[in-house]
Amino acid sequence: MRALVIAVNLNKDNFQCDIDEFIMLAQSAGANILHIELFKKDMPDNKFFIGSGNVQKILSLLNDLSIEIILFNQALLPSQHRNLEKIWNVRVVDRVSLILDIFALRAKSHEGKLQVELAQLKHLSTRLTRLWTHLERQRGGIGMRGPGESQLEMDRRVIGSKVKILKERIKKIKLRRISQRGLRERNGAFSVSLVGYTNSGKSTIFNILAKDKVYVANQLFATLDITSRRIWVGDDIDKDIILSDTVGFIRDLPHSIVEAFHATLEETASADLLLHIVDSSSNEMYDQIENVNKVIKEIGASNIPTVLVYNKTDKSKITSKLLYDDSAGLVAKVFMSAVNLDGVDFLKSVISNASKVLRNNV
């Protein structure tokens, strides 16, 4: 679709990185970006976010560029969203809606689709408008007499019912996963989960360790559905090691996404070891680490032993190596490149060592 991107700098230090990331999100969703309009404000305008003058400026661009959709690099309030669409008369998609759209595009498993739909419905429920006021039952007329329930109220009730059904289905899947996890624990399996910022290389590393073919692409949120495989890291390991790949995180990840995917993310919260995959070539590396740690804390996994795996050393020109944490007896950091396989043996030794050191906790 022919898209116009609006980005507003609210006095953020890393504004350019925000723009670059949002453009990647838009392209991942299939947008054809024709124009990017940048604004700077101290605080959002209550009615239009960008102010009435800027709204008119955008209006003059719409016809000239034949814009079909406007992508907003901020989360809009329902009232702001309605006001902008009413004036511009084109579809407006804010940051939260765009991420949800990408999730809907990428979800492949039954559980993933259920979780995305749940997040979408919860987001939609805050944005229902009286688009059908001319059909309200209380106005009477043939076919309109009855209990006096407006279309808006009906929509809210229908969405509420669907949300309840989805939660029940996800709950059943969660119970099945808990049962499977309990079986692995009884069999003495050692569980390792890959976490990290989206597009950090988690799935590439997963494919190497599991000798699998999980979908990999240079795009945000290429992986949504959790995948678990038994892996081999050495002959001296006397127990199964189960490796799980999970959804990537991103800055300002909508809470509705974290909440909807909680059943999946619990697999991470129950792991014996987390491998936090980091893009060592990114200028925003430390900010990305911080954002991932926030989500890890939110899902209750901050107490799990974690190893930082600095991937993409082929781009950052860092030598592959290990850095030990003597106090816990575990490796604290690994530097490697999944692309040229440099340092993969280091990573295997980290997992092997952790399975022995943490044996008593499994």
Tell me the one-letter amino acid at 181: R
Beta pairing partners, 337: 342
The Cα–Cα gap between 201 and 275 comes to 12
Return the residue matching tokens 């209550």. 46
312 is in an annotated binding site: yes
Q: Which residues make Cβ contacts (< 8 Å) with residue 326, sequence separation at least 6? A: none
199 is in an annotated binding site: yes
227 is in an annotated binding site: no
313 is in an annotated binding site: yes
The Cα–Cα gap between 81 and 75 comes to 9
Given a contact cutoff of 8 angstroms between Cβ atoms, the answer to whether 67 and 31 are in contact is: no
The Cα–Cα gap between 229 and 243 comes to 5
DSSP state for residue 340 in the 8-state scheme: T
202 is in an annotated binding site: yes
148 is in an annotated binding site: no
The Cα–Cα gap between 335 and 112 comes to 32
Given a contact cutoff of 8 angstroms between Cβ atoms, the answer to whether 135 and 148 are in contact is: no
Instruction: Identify which of 131, 30, 46, 99 has the alpha carbon closest to the alpha carbon of residue 261.
Output: 99
286 is in an annotated binding site: no
Given a contact cutoff of 8 angstroms between Cβ atoms, the answer to whether 196 and 202 are in contact is: yes
Rg, the chain, Cα only: 24
Given a contact cutoff of 8 angstroms between Cβ atoms, the answer to whether 267 and 348 are in contact is: no
112 is in an annotated binding site: no
360 is in an annotated binding site: no
221 is in an annotated binding site: yes
- DSSP-derived 3-state class of residue 149: coil
246 is in an annotated binding site: yes
201 is in an annotated binding site: yes
The Cα–Cα gap between 94 and 127 comes to 12
217 is in an annotated binding site: no
- DSSP-derived 3-state class of residue 191: strand
Tell me the one-letter amino acid at 241: I
245 is in an annotated binding site: yes
The Cα–Cα gap between 313 and 122 comes to 40
198 is in an annotated binding site: yes
224 is in an annotated binding site: yes
Question: Strand 241-245 vs strand 227-231: parallel, antiparallel, or unpaired?
Answer: antiparallel
319 is in an annotated binding site: no
Question: What is the enclosing helix (H) or strand (E) of 5?
Answer: strand 2-9
Residue positions forming the annotated binding site for GTP: 196-203, 221-225, 245-248, 311-314
Residue positions forming the annotated binding site: 196-203, 221-225, 245-248, 311-314
Residue positions forming the annotated binding site for Mg(2+): 203, 223
